[in-house]
Structure 1
């Protein structure tokens, strides 16, 4: 969304760099003008393949957007800044409460490396306002470059597609798209909450969950449906 909007509104030459794992048909329709550059899967390793890509391309990149506080994103930041000191790095945390817990549990050595990583970053965004203030307190040396950017909806796209609903005939559906069973998505709470709604309130509604299912979550799903059948 962000690289596309920078292209659409400010004429940026925006490119997504990734492995070639799909046909990416949406590039011609939903995000027309956004470029894609495939990273060679030489080592089958995010860190090594990403570093190799940056060694070839860092000097031609003005702004590098990376995600998450991970080993590979840290390596990307160090590699990029070494090869292109004038380039800017934008870190989109895309985080949950788990990040706060992990940062709070870091020892002095781990915290030192985290700070060195974040000193390389020029802008950091947090999606949830609830987490924004907590992260600024935890990352006090970096608080002035931490901003709140909620995940948004492209209303221009909706208008262009003339998407409208006849609420008299549409189905009442709660749609959840996620990595089903991961701790961050808390699918258990969603299922239990929907199950516990009184029948007269839930009547006429259905819930659809879409996404890859964690292997460890399959037993919970089977047990859940066995219970509600009885």
Structure 2
């Protein structure tokens, strides 16, 4: 019997296992699960993709592996689209700032399948939005043509970036929608008794994450009592060998209070740390949205974050956290000290937070906007 489901294909040649539980995997997965598409991601075979077995139901999301026929991924993708565009009902890609890739993929697709729908998720921070707004010359021309004639739906994650793109007339309001990143928690969650943990999750030591600002701030807190700083995520090699080593030499009293857990692939273990922690600290310099912030809010963490990505949007909803200055370890130390000395500020009902986050950042609810626009 012929498969009557419409086909939804997301182009993401660099897919790794961890992408599957981020927007890259969860968006097409939701289109398959909640909206009955035959959903797939087009990628090279880069990893073992354990999350497709452990976290997600492979009935709703498939992986289609590209053949490495050419020297560039653009040509390999185009080769696939030339052969298969007529079978694809919705074609999705990321990153409009990849002008040549987006223009060539969608041009070929629309020429071969004029009735097909196209969607781009911008994944945009301040820098990417600025690039889109200020693009000139040939690339600027191709971007305008793509937006006007080749793309049916474009989404951006935060109100801040949405406003910039509309006000500068970079993308017309009839094509641009705001969709924050969502969360997908695969288990029924129990909130244990909270511990005096300050948690952060991300690629530690990268310029964007500003891990050194958090570490410096923690070393400046005079009355730490029994509080600990827990850091989860892969650690940049140079940061580990140079900064962290020096940090503990200068702060030997913090060896038992600053805990690096490294990269944790087991989602249940990460959820456990979220659920045990009282404060989630996010001193980032740049984020397109910051999924870790939503996960932390879901598990009842008080958010201490810079005004990056969708932080301000999230705080308006949950009203449990505060914005801090970027690159100011003295200010961050002061704010953390006040929270430590005023534990009453860290007592919002976790179940209420879960409900608020789930209502506003549930992938099924978010993807309804995409479904409506492409239909």
TM-score class, shorter-chain normalisation, is: 0.7 to 0.9
Change (3 A) 1:107 1:10: closer
Q: Distance in 1 between matches of 2:209 and 2:159?
A: 22
Change (3 A) 1:202 1:224: farther
CA offset digits 1:126-157 (Å, max 9, x no partner): 012221110122344533210111001125x3
Change (3 A) 1:36 1:109: closer
Unaligned runs of 5+ in 2: 1-25, 251-375
RMSD: 2.6
Other-structure match for 1:77: 106
CA offset digits 1:15-61 (Å, max 9, x no partner): 11111112222223422111111111222422111111111111100
Offset of residue 225 of structure 1 = 4.4
Note if 1:193 corresponds to 2:211. no
Other-structure match for 2:84: 57
Q: Distance in 2 between matches of 1:45 and 1:108?
A: 24
Other-structure match for 1:153: 183
Other-structure match for 1:222: 242
Q: Which has the higher contact order (CA 8 A, sep 6+)?
A: 2
Q: Distance in 2 between matches of 1:202 and 1:81?
A: 62
Change (3 A) 1:126 1:202: farther
Note if 1:177 corresponds to 2:202. yes
Other-structure match for 1:87: 116
Note if 1:38 corresponds to 2:65. yes
Q: Distance in 2 between matches of 1:131 and 1:23?
A: 35
- Structure 2 residue matching 1:89: 3-state secondary structure: strand
Q: Distance in 2 between matches of 1:68 and 1:61?
A: 20
Q: Distance in 1 between matches of 2:47 and 2:101?
A: 22
Other-structure match for 1:166: 192
Offset of residue 204 of structure 1 = 2.4
TM-score norm. by structure 1 comes to 0.82
Q: Distance in 1 between matches of 2:87 and 2:204?
A: 34
Change (3 A) 1:196 1:78: same
Change (3 A) 1:19 1:142: same
Offset of residue 223 of structure 1 = 4.0
Change (3 A) 1:111 1:8: same
Other-structure match for 2:339: none
Deviates more, 1:139-148 or 1:30-39: 139-148
CA offset digits 1:175-207 (Å, max 9, x no partner): 32238525xxx223x421342141434852223
TM-score norm. by structure 2 comes to 0.53
Unaligned runs of 5+ in 1: none
Contact 2:203–2:234 (CA under 8 A) maintained in structure 1: yes
Q: Which residue of 119, 122, 125 corresponds with 2:155?
A: 125
- Structure 2 residue matching 1:73: 3-state secondary structure: helix
- Structure 2 residue matching 1:187: 3-state secondary structure: coil
Q: Distance in 2 between matches of 1:16 and 1:171?
A: 41
Deviates more, 1:111-120 or 1:96-105: 96-105
